[in-house]
Each structure stands twice: as structure tokens, then as C-alpha cells.
Chain A
């Protein structure tokens, strides 16, 4: 049975090996260049204290390849589900070849077990190698951006793609078995996989682990690193400030500015400090405005704060593991459905 699985999957294996080799060569060459520039830039900028601009420049130079590589790693599990998962059984049912294989001296359960395990391993290894390559390649860029929780960054690094691949493959196989026709099964696999990915990213991941909530005080130090400051035009509106969270963390929500009693701060209460810092100018400020520091200093005595809810940087791997585990459990459930169906299938 292992031989038959290999024989049927041989061409795909060679194709994917060629692709992985090409990707690895490209990643090794450009990745080495990237590291070279990174250490050179770092040495220069630390001497001249110009790191922000210089490293941002490096990041911009490599942004194109990075986006492309992330797209590839994110698309890979979907493609695996479509091209390896959906035809695995649907193809046999469609051409009637299951009549041939199911009438050899091998039970259907064993037939399915070997096929499922073999190609699932190939799927997981493929996604794993792609993710490994990208995680290594992009690590200097990830250090610069400090944004490991971004959707693209999280979905295309670490071990999460392994879970996606296992799930997408199992989904394809199951839908192929239920729909019994390859092309519709491929289409439905893609649609369901995208829906699950979106749902997982948007609705499930933020709730997988308990978040931390901290009150960040508004003072000169925090305000000088603020990304944004919005006040309403009228005196009664709220004030919103994007205060810096702990480095490398994933901010999930921020309250408007609150008084020490926890009541939302009204624009009227900061107008004197505002006018002092900005004169009568507009209703918001951007990062790096020279007025942010003085504004913070002026507001500090009012004991104001913002409640920030976030996942700390060290939640990254627990989150990756939990999400991967969730996908693997889904894949296992789908596999169980497959075994159930194959045993009872009316052909």
C-alpha cells in the first residue's frame, strides 16, 4: 500500500522538491545578503544614532520579496488542500479506480490510513519547510519591525503553517469524499479553507489566550512615544491616544484617555494644556510631533491613564502552539469522518 501511495504521488513529490529547492536557494542567497546589510547598517547607525531611518530603509528595500514570500507561505496550505487533498479520494471515485484498489487484499481502512498519512506528512513537511525558510529569512526584518503578531507575519511564520497544511489537506480529502467529484471538491475546499482562516484570525486568535490589561499613565515619557493623539472638536468629546505598549506585544484594544477615577476624559479638560502645546492648531497630532512631550508633561499632574489590553511578546509561542493544536484537532476530526465514510461508502 505504501508503494502504491508513493507511486501515485511520485510526480507531485518531485515537483514539490524542485520548488522547495529553488525556494531554499533563493532564500539562502538573498537571506545572506539581507543579514550582511543588516549588520553593516546596524554598525553604522549605532555609531551615528540614525538607526530609525536607516533600518526603515532596509525594511523598505526588502518589503517586496517579503510580501511575496508571505503570500506564498500563506497560500501553500490552501494549494495543498486543493491539489493534494481534494483529488486524493474524489479522483479515485470519479474514475472508478477505487474498485480496483478496494478489491486487492487490503482493507479500505488500511488503504485510507496509508494514503492519508503519507500525503498528510508530505503536506506538513512542505508547509513546515516553507515556513522555516521564511522565518529564518525574515528574522532581521521582524526584529526591525517588532511586529510578530501582524496577520501576515503570524500566519506565515513559526509552526502555524504546519497546522494550516494539515487542516487544509484533511479538509480537501473529506470534501472530496463527500462530494465525490474533484473539481467541485477543490472549489469548496478553497472557499471553506479561506472562511476558516479568516474566522480563526479575526475571531478566534484574539480569544485563545487571556490578554493582559495595563493602565499606561499619560506623562512626558509615554506621550513622547505616542503614535497619535485625537481630541474632539467640541469640548465634550473623548480623547484618544495611541500610547506605546510593551515592546513586541500585540495590542488588542485601547480605551480612550481615562481620569484617575476611570471616567472618560473630556476634551474640555485638556484644552488649556492643548493650547499651551499646539496653540489653536487642529484636532489631532501625529507621531513625532514636537508638541507631544510638553503636552504629556502638562497633563501628568492630572493622573490620567489609558487602559491597554494586549498579548505580551512572550505569548507569541503559546499562541502559535495553541492555534496549531486547534487546527491539528480539526484535521484529526476530519480524518475520523473520512474513515467513517470510507467504511460505509456505497459505491
Chain B
């Protein structure tokens, strides 16, 4: 099966401001991918590049093996819900379903109508009168009703209250699983993604900091607490992601692809939230980009 998304040295600039820099990704199919990062990190840009709303200024991207947005066929394979789930305020819910039916060759009318009924929405209601959550549900229904192979959702739960968030994500994963759809969704809140994603991309200040399957990432990262020491004193094979020192103790987050050796430290697994926060934290200027293993961060840590 072809990868959901392959990007090579992908870059996007708005004028002179880089929105995405040197992004290289290869996401295998069949995943629910969480794209996480602070506001303005370039999440929306990456998603819009993936559905062909933007053309990259450098590098290349292919989605499901093709150039994004390259024709009706490709458009039919990728569903997209933009941030704030825009819908036509003066059209009714039924009109939106008709829109989907008229504009998509593989439209699944039964699914769409069932979903609207399950959500307890009145098809005659104007979309402009829906609440934020209902609007997001409608936009998702239109995007999923065209039976895409990949569903891209930009901050789908940003406008929802906690209960609606949970409902929405539960619905989403359920319908994705039923239809075998891959999903990429972005959020600046890790807690939203924790429950639903099995693949994670961390994007910070226009660069990819971390990408991989969640279980593998969790297995490869450890927090170790030991007596005060220099990161260089750690055994080789451990990539230091972050280091904190108190008077007597050092706390490191390390990455290793082999089992962590037992030494004079206390080791803990990281939660997904901790993992993401660690990578977002190391993106400060002066600290090294963790995935690329440069020495600058180690040097500056050692120099303290």
C-alpha cells in the first residue's frame, strides 16, 4: 500500500516568512495521525499542502502516491475539513448533503443521512444556525461522506467544549475504523490526540521535531533521574532530548532504539503528553533539534 503522505525537504514560505521548513515525512497507511504543535508552528500549512490548497515553494509532497489536488480523482480520495469547519451559512444541512452528492462520485448517501440522524440534527436546519460542534459534525459528515481514503482535519475540535470534543473524536475514530480511512488531524492540545492517534508528528516553529508510531515513540523514550552528571557521561547510544539539573540531581529525557541499559538511575516511561512537551520545549533557540542529533545543545548544557 502507498504511504498516506510522503514529503521530501518540503518547504513553504509566505513572502519571506517560512511556514514550513525542510519537512521530510513518510507516513505509512492505515493510521490515525496526530499533528501537534504550538499555534503558528505550521500545522495548517502542512495540511493545506497535503490537500493541494497550497503549492509548496520548495521540496516535494505526495499524498496517497499522487500530487495533492492534481485532479478530480485525487480530490475524491482526500477529504478535508478546514479550521473552524466552514459551511455555507444560508444552506440547510440537507443542502450540504446534496452538495456532497452532486460533487463527489463515491458519495455515500446512506452513511451521511444516518450520521445526521444519529447526531440528532434536523436536515432542514440552516447551517448558519448550528452550534460550533454541530457545524464541525456537519463538515465532517460532508468530508467523510465522499468516502475518501484519507481524511484531513485541521483543528477539528478547537471550538468544542470538552464533552463535545470527546464525542466528536469518538465518532471520528469509529467511522474511520469502519471505513478503513486514514486520518490526519491537527491540534495544539495533546490531550485531544492522546486518545485517538497511533501516529504522531510534532511540529515546532515550522520544523518537524518528531514523527513516528506512538507505541514505538513511547517505547524508545525514557526519563531517567540520576545523580548530577554531564550528559556526556551517559552511555553511548542514548540520544539526550532534554536535560534538567538541580543541585544534586540530573533529569534526562533520552531516546534509544535499543532497550535502556540498567544503571544507577531511576527510569520511567513518558506519557505522550510529556513526550510532546519535551520536544516542544527543546525547540527554544540554542537547544538542539532533537531528531537531528546536533551537538550544540549538549555543548551548551555541558558548559553550565
| A residues at B contact (CB < 8 Å) | 1, 3-4, 7-8, 95-97, 99-107, 110, 344, 346-347
Please tell me if the beta carbons of A103 and B54 are within 8 angstroms of each other in the complex.
no
- Residues of chain B within 8 A (CB-CB) of A101 are 99, 103
Q: Pick the most buried of A1, A3, A100, A346: most chain B CB atoms within 10 A of its CB.
A: A100
Q: Which of A97, A101, A344 is the most central at the interface, judged by chain B CB atoms within 10 Å of its CB?
A: A97
Does B110 make an interface contact (CB < 8 A)?
A: no
Task: Tell whether B142 is near chain A: CB-to-CB under 8 Å.
Answer: yes
Report how far A1 CA is from B87 CA in the complex, Å: 16
- Residues of B79-106 contacting chain A, CB below 8 A: 79-84, 86-89, 91, 95, 98-100, 102-106
Residues in B neighbouring A97, C-beta threshold 8 A: 86-88
Chain B neighbourhood of A106, CB < 8 A: 72, 75, 103
**Which residues of chain B have C-beta atoms less than 8 A from A107's C-beta?**
71-72, 75
**Which residue of chain B lies nearest to A3 when distances are taken between CB atoms in the complex?**
B102
Write the nearest CB–CB distance from A219 to chain B, whole angstroms.
Answer: 71
Task: Give the chain A neighbours of B88 by CB distance below 8 A.
Answer: 8, 97, 100
Taking the nearest CB of chain A, how far is it from the CB of B123, in angstroms? Answer: 15
B99 and A103 form a contact (CB under 8 A): no
Within 8 Å CB of B55, what residues of A? 344, 346
In the complex formed, the residue of A with least CB distance to B106 is A105
Select one of A3, A100, A105, A347 contacting B104, CB under 8 A. Answer: A105
Inter-chain contact A347/B48, CB cutoff 8 Å = yes
Interface of B is mostly: mixed
Q: Does B76 contact A (CB under 8 A)?
A: yes
Separation of A104 and B87 alpha carbons in the complex (Å): 13
Is B3 on the interface with A (CB-CB < 8 A)?
A: no
What is the CA–CA distance of A344 and B55 in the complex, to the nearest angstrom? 8
Cβ A3 vs Cβ B98 within 8 A:
yes
Taking A99-B80, A347-B54 as given, write out 6 further A-B residue pairs in contact, using a Cβ cutoff of 8 Å, ordered by the A residue number.
A97-B87, A97-B88, A105-B103, A105-B104, A106-B103, A107-B71
Q: Is the CB of B102 within 8 A of A4?
A: yes
Interchain CB contact (< 8 A) of B105 among A1, A100, A105, A346: A105
Q: Which residues of A contact B71 (CB under 8 A)?
A: 107
- Are the C-beta atoms of B99 and A346 separated by less than 8 Å? no
Q: In residues 116-144 of chain B, which contact A (Cβ within 8 Å)?
A: 139, 142-143
Chain A contacts of B91 at CB under 8 A?
7-8
Chain B residues whose C-beta falls within 8 Å of the C-beta of A96 in the assembled complex: 82-84, 86
- CB pair B105 A103 closer than 8 Å: no
Q: Which A residues lie within 8 Å of B83 (CB)?
A: 96
CB distance from B238 to the nearest CB of A (A): 43
CA distance A110 to B87 in the complex (A): 20
B89 and A103 contacting across the interface, CB-CB below 8 Å = no
Could you tell me which residues of chain B, from 43 to 86, have a CB within 8 Å of some CB in chain A?
48, 51, 53-55, 71-73, 75-76, 78-84, 86
A1–B82 CA distance with the chains assembled, in angstroms: 20
B288 lies within 8 A of chain A by Cβ: no
A104 in contact with B103 (CB, 8 Å) = yes
Residues of B contacting A344 in the complex (Cβ-Cβ under 8 angstroms): 55
B99 touches A104 (CB 8 A): yes
Q: Which residues of A contact B86 (CB under 8 A)?
A: 95-97, 99-100
User: In the complex the two chains form, what is the Cα distance from A110 to B69 in whole Å?
Assistant: 13
Query: What's the Cα separation between A100 and B91 when bound, in Å?
Result: 13
B146 CB-CB contact with A under 8 Å: yes
Q: What's the minimum C-beta distance from B293 to chain A, rounded to whole angstroms?
A: 34
Q: A110 vs B75: C-alpha distance in the bound complex, in angstroms?
A: 13
How many whole Å from A141's CB to the nearest CB in chain B?
43
> In whole angstroms, how far apart are the Cα atoms of A298 and B47 in the complex?
90
Cβ-defined contact, A100 with B146, below 8 A? no
Bound complex: CA A55 to CA B167 (Å): 79
Residue A100 contacts which of B48, B98, B142 (CB distance < 8 angstroms)? B142
CB contact under 8 A between A100 and B53, given known A105-B75, A107-B71: no
24 A-B pairs (CB sep. < 8 Å): A1-B102, A3-B99, A4-B103, A7-B95, A8-B91, A96-B83, A96-B84, A96-B86, A97-B88, A100-B86, A101-B99, A103-B78, A103-B80, A103-B143, A105-B72, A105-B73, A105-B103, A105-B104, A105-B105, A105-B146, A106-B72, A106-B103, A346-B14, A347-B53
Residue of chain B at shortest CB distance from A345: B53
CB-based nearest A residue for B86: A96
Name the A residues within 8 Å of B143 (CB-CB). Answer: 103
User: What's the nearest-Cβ distance from chain B to residue A182, in Å?
Assistant: 14
| CA distance in complex: A95, B91 (Å) | 14
The answer to whether B75 and A103 have CB atoms under 8 Å apart is: yes
Which residues of chain B have C-beta atoms less than 8 A from A1's C-beta? 102-103
> Smallest distance from the beta carbon of B182 to chain A beta carbons, Å?
16
A4 touches B80 (CB 8 A): no
Shortest distance in angstroms between B282's beta carbon and chain A's nearest beta carbon? Answer: 31
- Whose C-beta in chain A lies nearest to the C-beta of B100? A104
The verdict on A99 contacting B75 (CB below 8 Å), with A3-B98, A7-B95 known, is no
